[in-house]
A and B are shown apart, each in its own frame.
Chain A
């Protein structure tokens, strides 16, 4: 049976495949003593394929030594090594948390940021201490990363602290991150906090408005619907997707809303000449909320003949949800002229 020593020798062999296999074998051996030779080789290994095998071996080795070794690699000058070390530690899951806590206490701002990169995407219940510290970190990038992670993890226990961070006159990137996090973990009080922080939408810069709209999509109701709708004709085309997404998300919470005088023409204008096509699709889908109105219904029917397939798709989806008498025959007749497979499926629904 091959021993660690044999694999170590092969790890320094001339043949790239042999070195890859040696790294793999050390990983399967799964002993703490396998870690130092892997790290030693990594420092001098020119082949990306062998490097990748070394990192996979570190993932397979269950001992703490693999975590400690990977934490050392976070300090590497080579960004590829740092990224792969982050990946190894992330895969180690909760086992790596005690080690990450130490780095959070003692590491520099780059290391602290990397700790949060490791935690990103990990449902680590015992990382609360790390996050509490990160939210008060002197480096804004560390705070931003912590807020982003907490939002994605839906860590509602940090909601109040994130509202506070948004409420202060903070770095604009941090404000945006707080808004995005509140999309996931916000409640009615968060909506109030957001509205107090941004009382005047007209002066809100575009990059913050996109995040604000996401928050409105998640938390808003009738009042916010009207405000968001009023933005469609006046803000730039690049903001159409988040505006339309917000309208689509808010409406189901207050389904008796009237569109007002400006919204329907604005939506029609987007359907007719909006770009990119996905925007046109979104606009058709928003129009479907008022498909019971004759003018909207007629417009949706006309959309079935659009040259843009996404407009036809949106119209087919929208119309198939209405209960108009005779509609089934109209859709069936349209299906005879349609060649796109997805639109045909939507027409048949």
Chain B
């Protein structure tokens, strides 16, 4: 395995942050080293400096960065993924938005799970909304789950998940919102009723313009697969899709501010979230 120096690790993690928006701190030094080693072997390189040069200056179409991204990210999706972020949503952002709406006499709540894959995220959000805000059933409340892949949307509609998908669901949520069926788990009907699955290509600008009036957008670990320009365009659309004083959540280690300066960073105790003012 190549001996990536600490300085090279720091430069590399900075580059990955700048290009992909993913943050790797020193706890991930071994993880990153092993992934870089794989890429270096594939490219026939034995000097980390050569690899870093390639990544920085000899990768005009971003192919190597994408190859590295594929190794350092995971396609795996499961319920209650990135729990910290969900806590910020449940404990701070959602109550804030709901009380503002109640004060204005509004009874609608719209959440968009963009790039929802097989549905674990929208159903997680649905469970949290029902738990934090039991009145949701009497409000006009919907979680719009969109994905480009029709097969994924079929899985959202089926709302059946294997043990791995539900492994991180807290017991009390599991008892309230899921039903065990053999070696699978089914999302209960009152929870699935909140989720509306739709086909949407995030790069289709006309279709994106039709997405308006949301209070929250979740688009976690999706944009890392977009090039810079497309990523900016998508986040700009998110900005327009949100109501004022609404929130966007990208992946835990992805930064909105890096892509769009119109969003403002807001702190809730230990949590940092992006808000459209």
Contacts and interface: CB of A to CB of B under 8 A. Distances in A.
Interface of A: 16-17, 20-21, 24, 28, 47-49, 52-53, 56, 59, 80, 91, 121, 123, 152-154, 184, 214, 217-218, 241-242, 244-245, 248-249, 252, 276-279, 281-282, 285, 309-310, 313, 317, 342-343, 345-346, 349
A248 to B, nearest CB: 6
Contact of B261 (A21, A80, A214): A80
A49 B263 CA distance: 9
A245 B30 contact: no
A123 B7 contact: no
A275 B58 CA distance: 35
Nearest to A93: B60
20 contacts: A20-B239, A21-B240, A48-B262, A49-B260, A52-B260, A52-B261, A56-B233, A59-B229, A91-B229, A123-B57, A154-B57, A218-B49, A241-B7, A245-B6, A245-B7, A276-B26, A285-B3, A317-B30, A345-B34, A349-B1
Contacts of B209: 17, 21
B31 interface: yes
Interface in B178-203: none
Nearest to A242: B7
Nearest to B264: A48
Contacts of B30: 313, 317, 342-343, 345-346
B5 interface: yes
Contact of A281 (B28, B29, B53): B29
Contacts of A47: 262
- List 8 tightest A-B contacts by C-beta distance, closest first: A49-B262, A17-B240, A48-B262, A342-B30, A245-B5, A49-B239, A278-B6, A245-B7
Among B5, B58, B262, max chain A CB count under 10 A is at B5
Contacts of A184: 53
A53 B53 contact: no
Instruction: Provide the main secondary structure of the chain A interface.
Output: helix
B55 to A, nearest CB: 12
B56 A241 contact: no
Contacts of A21: 209, 240
Contacts, number: 88
Contacts of A346: 30
Given A16-B240, A313-B29, 13 more contacts: A17-B212, A48-B260, A52-B232, A52-B236, A52-B261, A59-B229, A123-B60, A249-B5, A278-B26, A281-B29, A310-B26, A310-B29, A342-B31
Interface string B30-50: 110010000000000000010
Nearest to A27: B233
A283 to B, nearest CB: 11
Interface string B75-99: 0000000000000000000000000
A309 B30 CA distance: 11
A48 B172 CA distance: 43
A277 B240 CA distance: 44
A52 B212 CA distance: 19
A282 B209 CA distance: 51
A59 B233 CA distance: 12
A279 B26 CA distance: 11
Interface string B54-70: 00111010000000000
A49 B57 contact: no
Interface string B189-228: 0000000000000000100010010000000000000000
Interface in B226-263: 229, 232-233, 236, 239-240, 260-262
A101 B49 CA distance: 31
A282 B6 contact: yes
A309 B6 CA distance: 15
B57 A241 contact: no
Contacts of B29: 278, 281, 310, 313, 342
Interface in B1-31: 1, 3, 5-7, 26-31
A320 to B, nearest CB: 10
Contacts of B26: 276-278, 310
Contacts of B27: 309, 342
A24 B57 contact: no
B232 A56 contact: yes
Nearest to A244: B6
Given A52-B262, A282-B6, A20 B240 contact: yes
Nearest to A214: B7
Contacts of B233: 24, 56
Contacts of B5: 217, 245, 248-249, 282
Contact of A56 (B3, B60, B236): B236
Contact of B6 (A53, A281, A342, A343): A281
Contacts of A52: 232, 236, 260-262
B240 A123 contact: no
B229 A56 contact: yes
Contacts of A278: 6, 26, 29
Contacts of A217: 5
Nearest to B239: A49
Contacts of B229: 56, 59, 91
A343 to B, nearest CB: 8
B86 to A, nearest CB: 22
A24 B233 CA distance: 9
A248 B3 contact: yes
Among B30, B31, B58, B240, max chain A CB count under 10 A is at B30
A49 B3 contact: no
Contact of A24 (B49, B205, B239): B205
B212 to A, nearest CB: 8
